[in-house]
Amino acid sequence: KNEVEQSPQNLTAQEGEFITINCSYSVGISALHWLQQHPGGGIVSLFMLSSGKKKHGRLIATINIQEKHSSLHITASHPRDSAVYICAVVLSADKLIFGTGTRLQVFP
């Protein structure tokens, strides 16, 4: 079993829909990253969370440390949101463990 599990693996949506991507982990962590990866490979860090909730534009990330679970929400989704979204947890000594990613496609 992977230490970081994401769901769903693939997600399609119509423009304007509300999207949720989930991340569960089984190890103790110092922080959690939500990352966005577009075709071509470059990774952008969207959020780093250690507790609670963060919001940036149409993106919202939450984390529940006790339940070892985090969610990434996209409100009013747009085709430009199409990408792979990766959850990565930070262990002690700054080691990152990545989930396998959620491939999101938003259609007009």
Partner 1 sequence: DAGVTQSPTHLIKTRGQQVTLRCSPKSGHDTVSWYQQALGQGPQFIFQYYEEEERQRGNFPDRFSGHQFPNYSSELNVNALLLGDSALYLCASAAQLNYGYTFGSGTRLTVV
The Cα–Cα gap between 77 and 21 comes to: 13
The Cα–Cα gap between 86 and 64 comes to: 17
The Cα–Cα gap between 82 and 103 comes to: 8
- Residues 68-97 touching partner 1, rule: CB under 8 A, are 86, 88, 90, 93-97
Q: Under the criterion CB under 8 A, does residue 35 sit at the interface with partner 1?
A: yes
Q: Under the criterion CB under 8 A, does residue 65 sit at the interface with partner 1?
A: no
Q: Which residues pair with 19 in a beta bridge?
A: 74
Q: Under the criterion CB under 8 A, does residue 46 sit at the interface with partner 1?
A: no
Give the binding site for partner 1 (CB under 8 A): 4, 30-31, 33, 35, 40-45, 48, 50, 86, 88, 90, 93-101
